[in-house]
Amino acid sequence: SPAVHPAIAPLSYLLGSWKGQGEGGFPTINSFSYGEQLHFSHSGKPVIAYTQKTWKLNSGEPMHAESGFWRPKPDGTIEVVIAQSTGLVEVQKGTYNAEEQVINLQTELVGNASKVKEITRVFRLVDGELSYEVQMATNLNSLQPHLKASLKRV
Ligand code: HEM
């Protein structure tokens, strides 16, 4: 496989596959649990390719899926584009801290979303587990949690 581009080296801890469980909720919906797998890969270019899929824990039936590209910059900023299976698209901008292994993303743009106004995503690597929290704001509700999950390397 090609050498990791220096631009993505600070986030090379993401590369590979992660699997685990998450929990979702929002004031307007019933809370739910889900299974999830993430995959981060690279081709030697200064970009990390990202795919995600989720499923119902009891039946394995597919739920949400998404994919995109993560572009960390040497100055500690990062741009992420994500296309969701629901048709929604996100452009996220944020920062990463390579020492603390934390990534913070905030909405620059949400497209083709009737209700969603804003999305934030925080990823943390703690003791070898990758966890994240997703918050969203809708036309009716202010920014608050929709998803959290914890994933182990597979
Ligand atoms: C509901 C957005 C990821 C499962 C919703 C709603 C929105 C939304 C706008 C409706 C809330 C309302 O009516 O007030 C998003 C966004 C996501 C995301 C922006 C990613 C950033 C996920 C994922 C799953 C999921 C990964 C499953 C693993 C659900 C479920 C509901 C829901 C089960 C309630 C039932 C339904 O409306 O289908 N989501 N979602 N969502 N979401 Fe998400």
- CA dist., res. 112 & res. 119, Å (int): 14
- CA dist., res. 43 & res. 58, Å (int): 36
Kindly give the distance from the C-alpha atom of residue 147 to the centroid of ligand 1, in angstroms, as a whole number. Answer: 9
> What does pLDDT average to over the chain?
97
pLDDT tier, 1 (very low <50, low <70, confident <90, very high otherwise): confident
Q: Is 147 exposed, middle or buried (0-12, 13-18, 19+ CB in 10 A)?
A: buried
Please report where in the chains the tokens 């901008």 appear, as a residue: 93
Dihedral (C-alpha) 101, 138, 21, 152: value to the nearest 10 degrees? Answer: -20
**Model-level ipTM above the cut of 0.90:** yes
- CA dist., res. 63 & res. 57, Å (int): 10
Alpha helices in the chain (DSSP H): none
54 CB within 6 A, ligand 1: yes
Q: What number is the average pLDDT over the span 51-60?
A: 97
Kindly give the distance from the C-alpha atom of residue 122 to the centroid of ligand 1, in angstroms, as a whole number. Answer: 17
13 CB within 6 A, ligand 1: no
Kindly give the distance from the C-alpha atom of residue 142 to the centroid of ligand 1, in angstroms, as a whole number. Answer: 15
